[in-house]
Copies of this chain bind each other. A is one copy, B any other.
Amino acid sequence: MTDRIFTNAVLPDGRSVDLAVRDGRFSAITANLPIDAATETVDLGGRLILPGFVDGHIHLDKSFVGEPWQPHRPAASLRERLAAEKALLAGMRPTAQRADALIAQVAAFGTVAMRSHVDVDATTGLSHLHAVMEAREKWRGRMDIQLVAFPQAGILTCPGTADILAAAIDEGVEVVGGIDPKGMDGDSDGHLDVVFGLADRRGARIDIHLHEGGPDGIAQLHRIAARTSALGLAGRVVVSHAYALGDVDGAMLDGIARALADAGVAIMTNAPGDRAFPPVLHLRQHGVRVFTGSDNIRDAWWPYGNGDMLQRAMLIGYRSGFYRDEDLAIALAMATEEAARAIGLEVPGLDIGKPASFVALQADTLAAAVAAPPAERILVHRGMVSAPS
């Protein structure tokens, strides 16, 4: 039994089609589908449809979305920033409610899946994690949420954190995080021993925040690639930000690109506004998977972001100098299928058998939608129109 047929849609390849949905998945995609009088139809009015978006890097526990505006407070050091963040969050609604507000906001742009980092440290313990798990439970079936236990304050420099990371995995967290093994924790091997050890023993994936720039950052990337290969973790390790890849070129860049590709380490970039970042096309040419995510959204770290992954794709293209249609398509893929593949969630797509989760909007082509993202969208989640409601 067909649940519903969406008529008069335009696929990214330009074909005008109708789409039938059965049990929440596409059961037919073709021009002029025969329509039984008893079948419910939704006319998409010639709109372009794109697969549901995947946010490969978000921080559900940090955002102030839904709270009154908080002016940004400059901080002289990372430790000062972390202290300010804790103080601000203590005065706000509980983390589960803030996470819920942010999930609702990003869902309204068309995101269907995400990887969220969640702070764990010796003082926070698993409290943020439990709160975000509560929000995840509320959204089950409507948003696919994967969690990372993120040691925001370091592992070695914040005693007790290694045990909390292990406890987080015991509670079902899929990914163990890391952060600046040398720059923050002062001991690359000690830090990576903990992270890769947990991944190896518990079967967790890995996602390491790496802000260290230049050759120092490249050296960390080589360490991470080597450990990934040694433990056979290809396809299960992500380095987020990896600014260093934007700081170097020539043989140094080619060398690390080959190492990352050979090891199966993927790179997440949000296309930061005011610093160099990984060269997307160059890395892809070497076989490195590169994807994107919102990163921080209106929090103690910065005031920007709204969680719209189509705008994120625009920013990737804008910052990368993508002008050609095929490059704009790469920018969008980084927010859909490449993100899903990198983090190990079901890959969205407009194909028979895939979940019927998509975004319909007024745009001539996929490239046009990325270059100037339309605000008005019809959202369909597993065959049901979720917005406008």
Does B69 lie within 8 Å of A367, measured CB to CB? yes
Scoring A residues 116 to 160 as 1 if CB is less than 8 Å from chain B, else 0, what string do you get?
Answer: 000000000000000000000000000000000000000000000
List residues of A (54-79) whose CB comes within 8 Å of B's CBs: 68-69, 71-72, 74
Instruction: Indicate if A5 sits at the interface (CB-CB under 8 A).
Output: no
Checking B273, B323, B364 against A74 with a beta-carbon cut-off of 8 angstroms, the contacting residue is B323
In angstroms, Cα B371 to Cα A71, docked, is 11
Contact B69–A364 (Cβ < 8 Å): yes
Let me know if B372 and A274 touch, CB within 8 A.
no
A71 contact from B74, B314, B321, B325, Cβ within 8 A: B325
Are B71 and A298 interface neighbours, CB within 8 A?
Answer: no
Q: Does A368 contact B (CB under 8 A)?
A: yes
User: Cβ of B69 and Cβ of A274 under 8 Å apart?
Assistant: no
Q: Which of B74, B323, B365, B376 contacts A324 (CB 8 A)?
A: B74
Is the CB of A303 closer than 8 A to any CB of chain B? yes
Q: Is the CB of B328 within 8 A of A303?
A: yes
Tell me if A306 is interfacial: C-beta within 8 Å of chain B. Answer: yes
Taking CB atoms, residues of chain B closer than 8 Å to A364 are 68-69
When the two chains form the complex, which single residue of B72, B298, B319, B367 contacts A372, counting CB atoms closer than 8 Å? Answer: B298
- Against B, the Cβ 8 Å flags (1 = close, 0 = not) of A334-367 are 0000000000000000000000000000001101
Task: Tell me which residues across on chain B come within 8 A of A315, comparing CB atoms.
Answer: 318
Cross-chain contact of A318 among B304, B328, B367 (Cβ < 8 A)? B304
Contacts of A321 in B (CB 8 A): 273-274
| Cα–Cα distance between A351 and B184 once the two chains are bound (Å) | 50
Total chain A interface residues with beta-carbon distance under 8 A: 32
Query: Which A27-71 residues have C-beta < 8 A from chain B?
Result: 68-69, 71
Cβ-closest chain B residue relative to A320: B274
A255 within 8 A of B: no
CB distance from A255 to the nearest CB of B (A): 24
Q: Chain B residues with Cβ under 8 A from A232's Cβ? A: none
Bound-complex Cα distance A324 to B74 (A): 8
Q: Which residues of B contact A74 (CB under 8 A)?
A: 323-324
B368 and A318 contacting across the interface, CB-CB below 8 Å:
no
Q: Are A72 and B324 in contact, with the CB atoms below 8 A?
A: yes
A306 pairs with B273, CB closer than 8 A:
no
> In this assembly, does A186 line the interface, its C-beta being within 8 Å of a C-beta of chain B?
no
**Roughly how many angstroms separate A302 CA and B364 CA in the complex, as a whole number?**
16
Q: How far is the CA of A151 from the CA of B274 in the complex (A)?
A: 32
Knowing A364-B69, A367-B71 are in contact, say whether A306-B372 is a contact too (CB < 8 A): yes
3 A-B pairs with the lowest CB-CB distances in the bound complex, closest first: A375-B375, A273-B318, A69-B364
In the assembled complex, 13 residue pairs joining A and B whose CB atoms fall closer than 8 Å, in A order, are A69-B365, A71-B367, A72-B324, A273-B319, A274-B320, A298-B368, A298-B372, A302-B323, A303-B367, A303-B368, A303-B372, A304-B314, A375-B375
